[in-house]
Homo-oligomer: A and B are copies of this chain.
Amino acid sequence: MHILILGAAGMIGRKLVDRLVSDGRLGDQAVTQLTLADVIAAPSPAGFAGTVDSRAVDLSSDHVAADLVAGRPDVIFHLAAIVSGEAEADLETGYRVNLDGTRSLFDAIRLQGAESGWRPRVVFSSSNAVFGGPLPGVIGDDYVVTPQTSYGTQKLIGELLLADYSRRHIFDGIGLRLPTICVRPGKPNRAASSFFSGIIREPLAGQEAILPVADTVRHWMTSPRSAIGFLLHAATLDLARVGERPNLTMPGLSVTVAEQIEALRRIAGDRTVALIRREPDPVIERIVGGWAQAFEAGQARALGFTAETRFDDIIQAHIDDELGGHIG
């Protein structure tokens, strides 16, 4: 089985590659070939017996998409995107990469398939940024999508193209709206959501973390491990069960900051929790205040997508997957 991953050098991309290599298979088929694409070359995975072709390319440039699909991969994971902050700051780059890049991929598949009859599975990572306020406390699968950022707009357009091209049998597409990933490994970044991971990750590493919002703030999260699980499940799921709406809000855990902190206390004790320093930031409070707090995700759950149901399990996944199973 040949798998193409766009956005392979990102956090989710790298974890997906690692998982495919360690599993050695996707569903009931052996993984024999990986094509990895990103704006920087993704590292070749260690311990993989098959063929790896890692390319540093810009999907929105001419011919790149056509070249990538020329090898007719069986499954395509499209994870590549300009992130939210950059898409907001730079309209042209955001639309070029997130809209034109996605469309050029889908059209390259269309043209390649028209010649050869090839019809791959396409798994597209979308975002809860497709939703915009006013939002109910728990958002159902039938709630209107009205993005209020350019990133959310571009992701929703990607979803719509995926649904239309799938309806036309150009490829077998499925789009996944991923929750905020927590605990995100690595360093803090400038995303407004960074602290949701930081207040767990830094204290577990013996470092201070800043909490910029009140601990009544509620948010929708899942572990990196669950996110990879969603992608693999989407790649092998019988799409006849999905029906006419192939863009799915993924399950997650709705949790307050206070609940995050109490779970950390149960697992790592008061001294670890004491490393969280409260430093309110009205800008971050305001941004986060507009975000979705919880989703029903009923369609995705019925299709077998599963996520953590306790924040303790999200912390434990971080300890197991990033810290070698024990607190440092």
Chain A residues packing against B (C-beta within 8 Å): 91, 110, 132-133, 141-148, 150, 153, 156-157, 160-161, 163-164, 167-168, 244-245
Contacts and interface: CB of A to CB of B under 8 A. Distances in A.
Contacts of A147: 160, 163-164
Contacts of A245: 132, 146
Contacts of A132: 244-245
Given A132-B244, A160-B156, A148 B168 contact: no
A153 B146 contact: no
Contacts of A144: 141-145
B150 A91 contact: no
Contact of A244 (B146, B163, B167, B244): B146
A148 B161 CA distance: 11
Contacts of A163: 146-147, 153
Nearest to A94: B164
A142 B145 contact: no
A313 B3 CA distance: 60
Contacts of A168: 91, 150
Given A133-B244, A244-B132, A167 B148 contact: yes
A16 to B, nearest CB: 27
A148 B244 contact: yes
A163 B160 CA distance: 16
Contacts of A150: 164, 168
Contacts of A143: 142, 144
A242 to B, nearest CB: 12
Nearest to A157: B157
A39 to B, nearest CB: 24
A110 B142 CA distance: 33
A150 B146 CA distance: 19
A264 to B, nearest CB: 36
Nearest to A168: B91
A141 B142 CA distance: 11
Given A142-B143, A153-B163, A157-B160, 6 more contacts: A91-B168, A142-B144, A144-B144, A144-B145, A146-B244, A148-B244
A245 B145 CA distance: 10
A164 B153 contact: yes
Nearest to A153: B164
Contacts of A167: 148
Contacts of A145: 144-145
Nearest to A141: B144
A134 to B, nearest CB: 8
Contacts of A110: 91
A155 to B, nearest CB: 10
A156 to B, nearest CB: 6
Nearest to A151: B164
A284 to B, nearest CB: 20
A210 B149 CA distance: 48
Can you list the 3 inter-chain pairs with the closest CB atoms, starting with the nearest? A153-B164, A142-B144, A153-B160
